[in-house]
Amino acid sequence: QLQLQESGPGLVKPSETLSLTCTVSGGSISSNNYYWGWLRQPPGKGLEWVGSISYSGDTYYSPSLKSRVTISLDTSKNQFSLKLSSVTAADTAVYFCAAYARRSLDYWGLGTLVTVSS
Amino acid sequence: DIQMTQSPSSLSASVGDRVTITCRASQSISSYLNWYQQKPGKAPKLLIYAASSLQSGVPPRFSGSGSGADFTLTISSLQPEDFATYYCQQSNSLPITFGQGTRLEIK
């Protein structure tokens, strides 16, 4: 049973870079059984896919965020990470990491609230 | 991008009721449709994958149907723990997109 946990700063200043890490337990991020992804949910709103990375490092990003997003793997720590640059208040959201198995988001982290404010 | 539209946006129902939520895609997505339940302050939970397959551990009162562009989630007999927000999500093509959510409230 996979478990995922997000970590990172809860407050980021406008124009800076948001950085989050997802630590995976109960399975290897190098396993070809899963893809890994980030999603977000602004307060009181719906879910938005940010991007994904395969076990081999292929990345896929939301077109609306593509110019600002980087997702990467750290196989030595069994983690994957999100970087979102040039943040504004519109990037304030709960950020979730998740794992896909059969084209569905089978496992989710608890989520972490990131607020963009000076 | 494929647009996903859920209806209704909110719904009031009573324990024991049968409830149906609809999701429509802006183009055919075959059966690449998943349903999630989200409670306040929690992560979404996968209920149904591939339009009609019940995720392990999910009670059988939940069912999904449909293919192409039109899908439904049915709860056969509402239980108190089912009051939550429900989202559909297409995985036919990137970018992954979600419906806007259906908030299911107690009448």
Q: Which two tokens stand for residue B76?
A: 């056969």
Interface of A with B (CB under 8 A): 37, 46-49, 52, 60, 62-63, 96, 100, 102-106, 108-111
- Scanning the structure block, which residue is given the tokens 């439904």? B72
The pLDDT profile of chain B, 107 residues, written as one tens digit per residue, is: 999 999 999 999 999 999 999 999 999 999 999 999 999 999 999 999 999 999 999 999 999 999 999 999 999 999 999 999 999 999 999 999 999 999 999 88
Reported as a single tens digit per residue, the pLDDT across B1-31 is 999 999 999 999 999 999 999 999 999 999 9
Q: Residue B80, SS3?
A: helix
In B, which residues are within 8 Å of A48 by CB distance? 98
CB-closest option in B1, B91, B95 to A104:
B91
Question: For A9-50, what is each residue's pLDDT tens digit?
Answer: 999 999 999 999 999 999 999 988 899 999 999 999 999 999
In A, which residues are within 8 Å of B32 by CB distance? 103
Which residue on chain B is closest to A45 by alpha carbon? Answer: B100
Q: Do B89 and A110 touch (CB under 8 A)?
A: no
Q: Quick one: which of A33, A97, A61, A48 has its CA closest to B94? A: A61
CB contacts of A46 in chain B (<8 Å) are 87, 98-101
Cβ atoms < 10 Å from Cβ of A44: 5
Task: Tell me if B29 sits within 8 A of A103, measured CB to CB.
Answer: no
Q: Do B34 and B86 touch, CB atoms closer than 8 A?
A: no
Token pair listed for B50: 């591939």
- B47, B45, B107, B99: which is closest to B70 by C-alpha? B99
Omega into B59 within 30° of 0, i.e. cis? no
CA distances from B51 to A68, B3, B5, B23 (A): 33, 16, 15, 11
CB contact under 8 A, B43 and A110: yes
Which of A46, A60, A104 shows the shortest C-beta gap to B46?
A104
Separation of alpha carbons B101 and A23, rounded Å:
28
The sheet carrying B19-25 orders its strands as B4-7, B19-25, B70-75, B62-67
Residue B49 CA from chain centroid, whole number? 10
